[in-house]
Structure 1
Amino acid sequence: MGKKHDDIDLPGFPSLDNVGGSGNTETVKGKTKSKKSGGFQSMGLSFDVLKGITKRGYKIPTPIQRKTIPLILEGRDVVAMAKTGSGKTACFLIPMFEKLKSREPTKGARALILSPTRELAVQTYKFIKELGRFMDLKTILVLGGDSMDSQFSAIHTCPDVIVATPGRFLHLCVEMDLKLNSVEYVVFDEADRLFEMGFGQQLNETLHRLPASRQTVLFSATLPKLLVNFARAGLNDPVLLRLDVESKLPEGLMLKFLYCRPDERYTALVVLLKYVIPQDAQTVVFAGTQHHVELICYILTKCGISNTAVYSSLDPAARKINTAKFVNKKVSVLTVTDVAARGIDIPSLDYVVNLHFPGKPKLFVHRVGRCARAGRTGTAYSIFSTDDAAHVLDLHLFLNRPFNINDDKTVGIAPQELMEEEHLSVTEVKNSHDIAGVLRTSENAYKKYLSSRPVASAESNARIKKIKFFSCKNLDDFLAANISLRQSQSSNGENDKSKEDLVAEDRKLQEEKQDLLLKMRNFKPSTTIFELNRSQKSLPFTIMKDKRSKHTNVIEKYRNKMDEMEKEEANKQQEADEKEEADEADADEINQAFNKIVAPKKRKNLEDLYKDKKKKKKKTNAKDNEHYIPYQSADKHTEDGLAINSFERQAMNAEFSVVDRDNSSDFRPKPGMKKWDRIKKKMVSVQDPRAGKIRTESGAWIPSSFKTGRYSDWKEKSKIEEQLQRENDGDDDGFKPLSHDKRYPVGQHARHNAKVAAKQRAGGDKELRHPEQIVKARMRLEFIKKRNADNAVRKAENRKRSMRKNQRGKVKKGGKK
């Protein structure tokens, strides 16, 4: 018998079982072997979407993709939370492709994706091009800092998907008076970062312009209260997906902490990049401020390390060029601020270095999450000093990890030989005159950074004083670098030994040296300087001897007390739980905003403790209606209406308001009102907070810079309305705008053909012209008439000359005869 009908593969059509990388069956020696279900094939995706997923290299969906994509395909509003590097971008792009299907140029934009930074928006745009290469969809990129004229023309091409930053997109909406009625799918990528960067006003205004029938998807790493309120107001019965409860860091990520003195921070960075991290590896260095970025770039360049930089105030074109250099491996080190701490995916990133320790543990998670993404491995080094020790302890409590410098191999110091080797070169760079201004600015910026950074907990500050960081041992990562340095310094003797023997010998040598230094630091003499010469019965010696014998019990009691305190601290360290931040949303607020929450189950004992705490906090507030005495009379409103001058009315006029009047948009100052200016040290007039602002359709007040009239100028230059009107007049069925290629042809022949086609559509030369064009045509005709008249006069004169010459010739010939 032949094959069954279901098993026949048609020629020219690939089998759907092989699309997506991990099919349901695979052939092993002529037999079929079943695989586990739950791949992209089981989600009911179309063939073009599955083909794009296969070409991108995706085989098995991640947990967040497996739970999120089916809910979005159902049309539900979703708020998804997952750890960094878990594939959140594909979670909203795959349902978007399935929802839009194909291009509809007459309908307008149907999907909107808002990203907090330029780099993240560019990355999402490229990902759409790669994943949707087989989809007939037009996508445009709207970024702040780019040319607005090109963005005007791009929006006039009626794209299907718009990837934008919130500020520039709202600027275009207000400037062009865009109607977003065709938008069906909205994505807020890194939504918590959008609110942290101050885009809340732009997001709310954009939300008012969107239709009520849209589908909204929010992807975030944390869940602050602002985001919960935004989801409650702008989403329709949303589903909350929380997959960040158990694990906060990728599994393949190794954390290592390098302790150093405050003045050796840059030296430790150079040692780390020169001796530990391979030269061909890709490394991202996070600095506190943009002033430190410039200083780090200068130091690394002088030390022979190829690097580039990206920060917020850098020119957009320069940011794009520098990022491309690093992604294409032209340089090995990229120094950035927190602008790249979220969402940026660099596939070949191997190492992350925190030069300045962040103030919040969650910012640390976002920084180190740039590497070890999507199942890869990576290492994150964090350089910290005495200023950052309490924050390091808070981080370990947040990650629920023990912090013990004696037993933990992830905390250590760099060998003194390597630090001394590079300290002189770094000091010479700092003392150069070329960098004096940058160094001074960076020092002031570091003081500002420490003062503005969130303060560590009081418990960590108290506990960190009892930790002896000078007893830290050398990190194992520096052993090979130290051995290579010793081999280069010594000419013979060590070349014959194997590498393992050298590592063991070096580790033993370093441990002995560390133990000796530790003993020297912990050594406390039992006698004072007055008791050095005991042979002499001097007066100081006898006094100290009597004093010591008298206080022997007190000294012993103090030593016992210190030992007990150390044991208590060790027990507390083992029993420390995860610390919750104050800005996180409460469970009650989350339950009110989301009816359905998908999250891993917690342990029962923790839930019972949580419920018991909530029950204790609740207080009964019962009101006895029978014996309750109101604080105002029943006819209070009548009396107030008949009163001429009441105390409450006078008190209201003379009240002292503690509201921040600069930020309150509903406040209107009275004429002549003044306030105290802390900078000028005098009373100044109160300015109207609505001055220089315009009111939108939703009633919100936004800066007047959003409406500059540039769109009107662009329309006059490009003559877009005339072309649209001609197209509309030529088509009686409906409006069909010209494509971008037809509207802006490139090349001499293309422009000529476009003009001829425009004349034909308009009915020959009967098109309406502007007064300037009519005047120009008349001047052209007059010039042609004048030129023709001059030519006629010139021809008549030439004809007369020729006739005269002929007559003279005839006369001469007759005389000779």
Structure 2
Amino acid sequence: MGLNTHILKAIAKKGFTIPTPIQRKTIPMILDGQDVVGMARTGSGKTAAFVIPLIEKLKSHSAKVGARAMILSPTRELALQTLKVVKELGKGTDLRAILLVGGDSLEDQFGSMASNPDIIIATPGRFQHLKVEMGLELSSVSYVVFDEADRLFEMGFASQLMEIMHSLPSSRQTLLFSATLPKSLVEFARAGLQDPKLVRLDAESKIAPGLESAFFTVQRAEKEGALLHVLQNVIKMPLGTPSPKDDTKDSKGKNRKRGAAGPPSGETPSPYSTVVFAATKHHVEYLAPLLKAFGYATSYVYGSLDQTARKLQVQDFRSGVTNIMVVTDVAARGLDIPILANVINYDFPSQPKTFVHRVGRTARAGKTGWSYSLVTVQDMPYLLDLQLFLSRKLILGRVAKEHGMFKDCIVVGGMVRDKLESCVEEVTQYLGEDEDLTALREVANRSEKQYMRTRNGAAAESVKRAKQVLQSENVNGVNALFDDEGDSNEEQQRIDMLARVSGFRPQETVFEIGKRGNTSDAATVMRKHRAKVESRQANAAAQRRDAERVAKEDDGTRDIPTTMDVDSEEELVLTGPTEDMDEASEGELELTFTRPDDPKKARKGGSAWQDSEHFMAYTPSTLNLAEDRGYGVHSGSNNHNNFVEAAQGATMDIQNDETKSFGEPSKQRAVGMRWDKKGRKFVSRANDEDGSKGARMIVSESGQKIPASLRSGRFDAWRKANKIERLPRVGELERKGANHFTAHGAGGKRFRHKKELAPKEADKFRDDYHVRKKRVDEAKEKRVGRFAEGAGKQELRGVDDVRKARKLTAKRKEKNARPSRRA
């Protein structure tokens, strides 16, 4: 690829010898100066794909003022990881890279920006704040990277990105990298790419080929016990804190200058390292102490955690101090934790692409890994959405284990009941003994209710299929992961026994017990009543069987089989066309790409009004509704995320064509105010359109409204405190003798201290006592140092000093004519 020696040495030191497919495709195009959109699954080396050409193009630090490259990341952890990769691959060069993320001191970041960095790695919110506060000029930026591009737009950074892109020069090179790229053209248009080249790899396999997955059906009240069961019996997680390995010595005990190829020393996780994903931060605050109570070394991370604490918790997990890290979806993007063995979805994700990013933390760079998901009854529609998104076979219950089953199929089933119940009893016992854990569980339950109300809804087709799947007997069978036949037979015997007990109907009523052979009025009445009821039940059962038989003959419906293949006709209608059009038959194309004819019209023998050869539909032929819904920002919600749904609800009001809200229904504009719960007042709906929400806004350079808090004056105060008249403008040369601007000097200038200090008091026991005492007396006369205001106040008082103070107090009392307190 024509890389320089410094980069090649840094790459070799990290242990990489062969570039990944995304790197082989994108690095030559980036070095050629083209705009690139890179799409590949997680763990495929996307970060190095844009960092290596970045360092190759910048080469060394520029003496001219102005940043030349900018990398925008959606989360602080991902930005911190990108900075680490830049520093590792940039060894041997004098390139300066800085990190600008929320939670850090603004004053420190003012100094970092004033140090003339070459590379800026930032989150959009904090960078926009610094840009507005400092009045930054970005005309020198020639290399812009949007890492995890879909996540940037999904997290609501669209306005910040538009503001930043407006200040960038048009001659820049723009790169977008992500594991998933939605098909919505609006999100790509906002990025401002010029003739981009799309590099899309592993489009068919959306998750790593080395990943094996298992899905366990559990009750909501048994989720804590199920988590404990997975850790104890499936992963076999050891208790206690793991002993860290000393990588600085070789097998002979000698000190080694450099570590072996692979993760650096101090960053080798445990081979049992597991990440547990929870829905909210309250779940994290509950699960972390619960696992610690059982003896597991546990870390935890969530969005509102202090930045310093987040770094420490992640570092403990990366270095192997802890085996388990409980996180929210803040860690589902971009975190590269070496040798991560397992991922557990304690709360099943509501979007398929969230699942892709969660399980993408393991089985990275050709390694293997496992993912375990706990699925409740409410989560079953989302599981079927995931099945359609991944286009995999659904296997329910106990089946014969096959090679590669957990890699290529969605294997769903229950757990071994006796082991699960013992774990649930242990959790219940701990909760009964610890009041703090009980309080945390109540908070987590309340947050879960709020989460269930606010999460995106599943597809309507998946909800219908979920009802059929839940009615199947196989859904409660033991998962194929548990291959112990003894456990399977015991579980099947337990299910059969429960079925017999639940279906038991006594032959006698309470009026007839113990009275067989004895005729009584009550027993006679009950026998006659039972005869009538049994005849009615038999007739009703016969009618139901006839109705089901007729329905099956007419509609061709069948029971849900043990294995459900997504290649059936019913699911072809739901998923839409596949990417490879050459392999599809003509019948499948007609069934998938066009709407089926109305069965009523078909019975009448009417011909279709469309000409299959010349008709051009407004629906794109390459539109895959299931995949588009999974990639979409508002997947599964009520928001319209494709043209078909948006066109169905489109309305236009021609009467108000000169108003700002042209094209919106008049009924929605009639109510111009809404109630703000937080402010407890009515606010204008116009504020919702620009995002102000009633807050004070100012107009930015691009004409957008931004919060007025971004111009707080803190930079001016920092500049005055450090005696900096102005920062160098873009294109000017750096000041000589100043490597960077600091917060301790005027623009980074170095001054010699002229402060004079007074000598210490003379020691009587030293030989040079008289010499030192003379120096102290001279300092007192010249008022140097601590003697600048005089000789100082004597703390010890003699008899004359005490008498003088008493006389002064008596004079004050006489003057004020106040009686003594004792009197």
- Same fold judged by TM-score > 0.5? yes
> How far apart, in 1, do the equivalents of 2:186 and 2:477 lie?
45
**Correspondence 1:379 to 2:358:** no
Q: How does 1:237-276 map to 2 (within 5 A)?
A: 237-276=195-234
Q: Is residue 349–residue 370 contact of structure 1 (8 Å, CA) maintained in 2? A: yes
Residue 463 of structure 2: SS of its match in structure 1?
helix
Q: Is residue 52–residue 132 contact of structure 1 (8 Å, CA) maintained in 2? A: yes
Partner of 2:718: 714
TM score, norm. by length of structure 2 = 0.69
Pairing partner for 1:286 from 252, 274, 277:
277
Query: CA-to-partner distance for each residue in 1:558-594, whole Å, 9 max, x for gaps?
Result: 5646988773544974534898999x9x99xxxxxxx
Q: Which amino acid aligns with 2:379?
A: D
Pairing partner for 2:169 from 187, 198, 211:
211
RMSD between superposed Cα atoms in Å: 4.4
> How far apart, in 2, do the equivalents of 1:400 and 1:529 lie?
51
Change (3 A) 1:153 1:422: same
Partner of 1:87: 45
Change (3 A) 1:752 1:357: same
Q: Is residue 674–residue 684 contact of structure 1 (8 Å, CA) maintained in 2? A: no
Partner of 1:698: 702
**Correspondence 1:618 to 2:622:** no
Deviation at residue 376 of structure 1 after TM alignment? 0.5
Partner of 1:321: 312
Partner of 1:675: 673
Deviation at residue 520 of structure 1 after TM alignment? 4.2
Deviation at residue 554 of structure 1 after TM alignment? 2.7
Deviation at residue 440 of structure 1 after TM alignment? 2.3
Q: Is residue 44–residue 365 contact of structure 2 (8 Å, CA) maintained in 1? A: yes
Change (3 A) 1:44 1:442: same
> How far apart, in 2, do the equivalents of 1:243 and 1:577 lie?
28
Deviation at residue 198 of structure 1 after TM alignment? 0.9
> How far apart, in 2, do the equivalents of 1:217 and 1:736 lie?
33
Query: CA-to-partner distance for each residue in 1:593-634, whole Å, 9 max, x for gaps?
Result: xxxxxx9865443796577679756379xxxxxxxxxxxxxx
Q: Determine which structure has more spread, i.e. the larger CA radius of gyration.
A: 1
Query: CA-to-partner distance for each residue in 1:670-693, whole Å, 9 max, x for gaps?
Result: xxx973527599984649847611
Q: Is residue 343–residue 359 contact of structure 2 (8 Å, CA) maintained in 1? A: yes
Deviation at residue 369 of structure 1 after TM alignment? 0.7
Q: How does 1:411-810 map to 2 (within 5 A)?
A: 411-431=412-432, 432-467=434-469, 468=471, 471=474, 472-475=476-479, 506-518=484-496, 520-521=498-499, 529=507, 538-544=527-533, 546-547=535-536, 553-554=542-543, 556-557=545-546, 560=549, 567=558, 569-570=560-561, 573-576=565-568, 603-605=582-584, 618=617, 675-677=673-675, 679=677, 684=682, 686=684, 689=687, 692-721=696-725, 736=735, 738-740=737-739, 753=752
Q: Which amino acid aligns with 1:319?
A: R
> How far apart, in 2, do the equivalents of 1:227 and 1:654 lie?
27
Residue 725 of structure 2: SS of its match in structure 1?
helix
> How far apart, in 1, do the equivalents of 2:226 and 2:324 lie?
15
Q: Is residue 398–residue 579 contact of structure 1 (8 Å, CA) maintained in 2? A: no
**Correspondence 1:404 to 2:395:** yes
> How far apart, in 1, do the equivalents of 2:536 and 2:654 lie?
75
Larger relative CO (CA 8 A, sep 6+): 1 or 2? 2
**Correspondence 1:330 to 2:321:** yes
Deviation at residue 212 of structure 1 after TM alignment? 0.9
Deviation at residue 318 of structure 1 after TM alignment? 0.8
> How far apart, in 1, do the equivalents of 2:566 and 2:175 lie?
40
Change (3 A) 1:242 1:578: farther
Partner of 1:143: 101
Deviation at residue 207 of structure 1 after TM alignment? 0.4
Deviation at residue 138 of structure 1 after TM alignment? 1.3
> How far apart, in 1, do the equivalents of 2:571 and 2:129 lie?
41
Change (3 A) 1:189 1:545: closer
Pairing partner for 1:366 from 346, 353, 357:
357
Query: CA-to-partner distance for each residue in 1:237-295, whole Å, 9 max, x for gaps?
Result: 11122224211110110000111111000111112122322335101000011111111
Partner of 1:356: 347
Q: Is residue 654–residue 663 contact of structure 2 (8 Å, CA) maintained in 1? A: no
Deviation at residue 152 of structure 1 after TM alignment? 1.4
Query: CA-to-partner distance for each residue in 1:114-135, whole Å, 9 max, x for gaps?
Result: 0000000000000111122133
Q: Is residue 114–residue 741 contact of structure 2 (8 Å, CA) maintained in 1? A: no
Residue 342 of structure 1: SS of its match in structure 2?
coil
Change (3 A) 1:652 1:365: closer
Q: Is residue 275–residue 478 contact of structure 1 (8 Å, CA) maintained in 2? A: no
Deviation at residue 510 of structure 1 after TM alignment? 2.9
Q: Which amino acid aligns with 1:191?
A: A
Would you tell me which structure has more helix in proportion to its own residues? 1
Change (3 A) 1:579 1:48: farther
> How far apart, in 2, do the equivalents of 1:158 and 1:678 lie?
44
Change (3 A) 1:227 1:720: farther
**Correspondence 1:199 to 2:199:** no
> How far apart, in 2, do the equivalents of 1:549 and 1:476 lie?
39
Q: Which amino acid aligns with 2:417?
A: Q
Deviates most, 692-701 or 573-582:
573-582
Change (3 A) 1:680 1:434: closer
Partner of 2:147: 189
> How far apart, in 2, do the equivalents of 1:745 and 1:61 lie?
44
Aligned residues: 641
Q: Is residue 105–residue 160 contact of structure 1 (8 Å, CA) maintained in 2? A: no
Q: Is residue 150–residue 181 contact of structure 2 (8 Å, CA) maintained in 1? A: yes
Q: Is residue 391–residue 566 contact of structure 2 (8 Å, CA) maintained in 1? A: no
Deviation at residue 300 of structure 1 after TM alignment? 1.0
Change (3 A) 1:68 1:651: closer
Q: Percent identity?
A: 40
Deviation at residue 425 of structure 1 after TM alignment? 2.5
Q: Is residue 72–residue 123 contact of structure 2 (8 Å, CA) maintained in 1? A: yes
Change (3 A) 1:578 1:68: farther
Q: Which amino acid aligns with 2:463?
A: N
Pairing partner for 2:67 from 84, 88, 109:
109
> How far apart, in 1, do the equivalents of 2:94 and 2:229 lie?
51
Residue 135 of structure 1: SS of its match in structure 2?
coil
Q: Which amino acid aligns with 2:452?
A: L
Q: Which amino acid aligns with 1:698?
A: S
> How far apart, in 2, do the equivalents of 1:209 and 1:517 lie?
67
Q: Which amino acid aligns with 2:532?
A: I
Q: Which amino acid aligns with 2:127?
A: F
**Correspondence 1:391 to 2:382:** yes
Deviates most, 447-456 or 555-564:
555-564
Q: Is residue 41–residue 208 contact of structure 2 (8 Å, CA) maintained in 1? A: yes
> How far apart, in 1, do the equivalents of 2:391 and 2:42 lie?
18
> How far apart, in 1, do the equivalents of 2:364 and 2:569 lie?
27
Change (3 A) 1:737 1:754: farther
Q: Is residue 311–residue 339 contact of structure 1 (8 Å, CA) maintained in 2? A: yes
Change (3 A) 1:260 1:320: same
Deviation at residue 441 of structure 1 after TM alignment? 2.0
Q: Is residue 473–residue 511 contact of structure 1 (8 Å, CA) maintained in 2? A: no
